[in-house]
Amino acid sequence: MTQTITVFRGDGIGPEITDAVLTILQEAKADLAFEIFDVGEAVYHKTGFFIPENGLESFRQNKILLKSPITTPIGKGFRSLNVTLRNQFDLWANIRPAKSNPCLDTLYKNIDIVTFRENTEDLYIGEEKKIDEDTVIAIKKITRTASQRIIRAAFEYCRRHHRKKCTCVHKANILKQTDGLFLSLFQEIAKDYPEIQANDLIVDNTCMQLVMHPQQFDVMVMPNLYGDIISDLTSGLIGGLGLLPSCNKGDEYAMYEAVHGSAPDIAGKGIANPTALLLSSCMMLDDIGQIKTAKTIRTALDQVFSKKQALTPDLGGQASTKEFVEAILQEIRR
């Protein structure tokens, strides 16, 4: 049955990469119908809303959203729209697979790290308070329920995908209560998965280890802030933000998006790499059972990468987004 999905075109490079991905999905004959909405800054200036109500309603109905990046103005009192979406639809797990592609020249080979980022709390609850002119504080919130579900999701993923190791990232030596709770729940839940090697690492050491010996990592689970930072780091290991897909999942809804932002520095230049959003759409196709179509797209992408003729500038090439997409379309037609 044709699956209807909601699509948000986003800010900056958002519309360029969305159009690229929709073109590819259609060529690959994905069995999808699209409800497409402009969202973000431009829409805000016209309507006073970042996301139109009918866009949210569409997501509520379809339960699946393919979303492009949205600009979050810094320091203007706006709550991040991404954080708002994650909370409103209780998208509690942010899953970010960083897999090096052997067809690309990347810093490292044989990287296959999946980050499970808790997506609803930690410092991202946005509770900041001014104490006096010179002092501001932010609340870091960690709850048993939210921690348990993300930790269990990481272990379940290991079991389903035959992954050998699960690493908990934290700073429990300093944040004894908050990260301490997260770590102790990890250790408790790990006992239910004796076949999976469980270890934990302090976040600063994790950064060094990821740069020096990234192949030691398999599945990683962590609170929100560390997940945000560590997953950008893992994208650097495999060739940059243009390549890293993600899924934000809850019990009812799922939102698929690139890990990167709206890239205002290259917006409108026609050189954005749509791969991260394209691979996010492949995660979506896998999840809704259109596995063959996802495979067709991934294979076409590998062909284009290995021929190295149509790479975008972030991958060391000179191709435009259009040329890159055209090369993928040709591979799909083959």
* Site residues for ligand NAI per CB under 6 A: 13, 69-72, 82, 241-242, 257, 260-266, 272-273, 276, 314
Please, which residue, 13 or 181, has the CB nearer to ligand NAI? 13
Which partner from the list ligand NAI, Mg ion, none does 154 bind, CB cut-off 5 to 8 Å by kind? none
CB of 276 to ligand NAI, least distance (A): 6
- E strand map for the chain: 3-8, 32-37, 64-67, 93-99, 112-118, 128-132, 135-138, 165-170, 197-202, 219-222, 245-249, 254-258
CB of 228 to Mg ion, least distance (A): 4
CB of 291 to Mg ion, least distance (A): 28
Q: Give the separation between CA 332 and CA 326, rounded to whole angstroms.
A: 10
Widest distance between CA atoms in the chain: 65
Q: Give the separation between CA 206 and CA 93, rounded to whole angstroms.
A: 21
Single-letter amino acid, residue 204 = D
Please, which residue, 232 or 286, has the CB nearer to ligand NAI? 232
CB of 273 to ligand NAI, least distance (A): 4
CB of 331 to ligand NAI, least distance (A): 20
- Closest chain position to ligand NAI (CB): 261
Query: What are the structure tokens assigned to 296, written together?
Result: 């067709």
Please, which residue, 132 or 265, has the CB nearer to ligand NAI? 265
Query: What are the structure tokens assigned to 287, written together?
Result: 């999840």
Report whether 158 contacts 164 (CB < 8 A).
Answer: yes
Please, which residue, 241 or 328, has the CB nearer to Mg ion? 241
Report whether 301 contacts 228 (CB < 8 A).
Answer: no
Look at the alpha carbons of 279, 199, 207, 72 in this order and tell me if their dihedral is positive or negative.
positive
Which partner from the list ligand NAI, Mg ion, none does 72 bind, CB cut-off 5 to 8 Å by kind? ligand NAI
Quick check: helix, strand or coil at residue 90? coil
The DSSP 8-state label assigned to residue 122 in this structure reads B
Which partner from the list ligand NAI, Mg ion, none does 228 bind, CB cut-off 5 to 8 Å by kind? Mg ion
Q: Give the separation between CA 41 and CA 117, rounded to whole angstroms.
A: 26
Element at 161 (helix H, strand E):
none
CB of 160 to ligand NAI, least distance (A): 26
Q: Give the separation between CA 19 and CA 80, rounded to whole angstroms.
A: 24
Please, which residue, 178 or 223, has the CB nearer to ligand NAI? 223
Please, which residue, 169 or 315, has the CB nearer to ligand NAI? 315
Which partner from the list ligand NAI, Mg ion, none does 260 bind, CB cut-off 5 to 8 Å by kind? ligand NAI
CB of 144 to ligand NAI, least distance (A): 27
Which partner from the list ligand NAI, Mg ion, none does 293 bind, CB cut-off 5 to 8 Å by kind? none
Please, which residue, 200 or 228, has the CB nearer to Mg ion? 228
Where do contacts with Mg ion occur on this chain (CB under 5 A)?
228
